[in-house]
């Protein structure tokens, strides 16, 4: 190959790499500007799951110290577990929980200090942590300054 041909090939490769880098940056920028779901969107999804449900299970963990519990380990460590059959009334029963996530703001997920797990059938769940103020739902996290304990302490929430 002549030096001129080598230089032309290198210039063409460099131009291709620059175009690829620009395209990749544009894709990454498009992803990063996508807003996380709002509390209202999460509430709509939760409400839809409750419309299909016929039971709700609520598990409470009372612990001190630093801990992280998920799934079955959370249920095994639960101090109290309550299962409510609610049939077509699940959405009404859980209205305050739906409102709680609706008024929450998106946040970065953190783990640890989980204290309440609400399972809707076996389809979906809400995991609360840090005194019930952090909410994890469908892989996204939300913050509400009012803890879930304020809602579930009312006896009619469970025994309605």
Is the pLDDT at 28 greater than 60? The verdict is: no
pLDDT confidence of residue 26: 47
Residues 5 and 53 grouped into a single domain: no
Cα–Cα dist 40/105, whole Å: 9
| Residue 75 and residue 8 share a domain | no
Domain match, 18 and 50 both? no
The CA distance from 61 to 38, in Å, is: 27
- Count of domains observed in the chain: 2
Do 23 and 96 have their domain in common?
no
Among the listed residues 141, 132, 143, 1, the one whose alpha carbon sits nearest the alpha carbon of residue 59: 132
Residues 83 and 44 in one domain: yes
Note down the domain range covering 11.
Answer: 1-34
Tens of pLDDT, residues 83-104: 989 877 898 889 999 999 999 9
- 67 and 139 within one domain: yes
Q: What are the pLDDT digits (tens) for 29-41?
A: 444 456 668 999 9
What are the pLDDT digits (tens) for 105-144? Answer: 999 999 899 999 999 998 899 999 999 999 999 999 999 9
Distance of CA 6 to the CA centre of its chain: 54
- Is 19 in the same domain as 55? no
Are residues 30 and 108 both part of a single domain? no
Token pair for 99: 């409102």
- Contact in structure between 58 and 118 (CB atoms under 8 Å): yes
Of 151, 104, 110, the residue nearest 130 (C-alpha): 110
Q: What is the pLDDT of residue 5?
A: 59
Residues 45 and 24 in one domain: no
pLDDT of 158: 66
State the pLDDT confidence band at 149, using cuts at 50, 70 and 90: confident
Q: In this structure, how many other beta carbons lie within 10 angstroms of the beta carbon of residue 158?
A: 13
User: Are 63 and 125 part of one and the same domain?
Assistant: yes
Same-domain check for residues 70 and 122: yes
């Amino acid at each position: 190959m002549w030096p001129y041909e080598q230089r032309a090939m290198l210039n063409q490769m460099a131009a291709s790499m620059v175009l690829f880098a620009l395209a990749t940056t544009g894709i990454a920028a498009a992803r990063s500007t996508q807003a996380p779901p709002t509390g209202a969107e999460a509430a709509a999804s939760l409400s839809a799951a409750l419309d299909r449900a016929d039971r709700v299970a609520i598990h409470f963990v009372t612990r001190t110290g630093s801990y992280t519990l998920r799934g079955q380990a959370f249920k095994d460590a639960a101090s109290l577990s309550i299962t409510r059959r609610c049939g077509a009334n699940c959405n009404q029963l859980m209205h305050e929980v739906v409102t709680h996530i609706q008024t929450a703001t998106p946040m970065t997920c953190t783990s640890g200090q989980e204290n309440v797990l609400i399972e809707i059938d076996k389809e979906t769940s809400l995991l609360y942590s840090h005194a019930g103020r952090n909410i994890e739902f469908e892989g996204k996290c939300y913050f509400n300054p009012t803890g879930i304990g304020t809602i579930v302490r009312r006896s009619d929430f469970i025994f309605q």
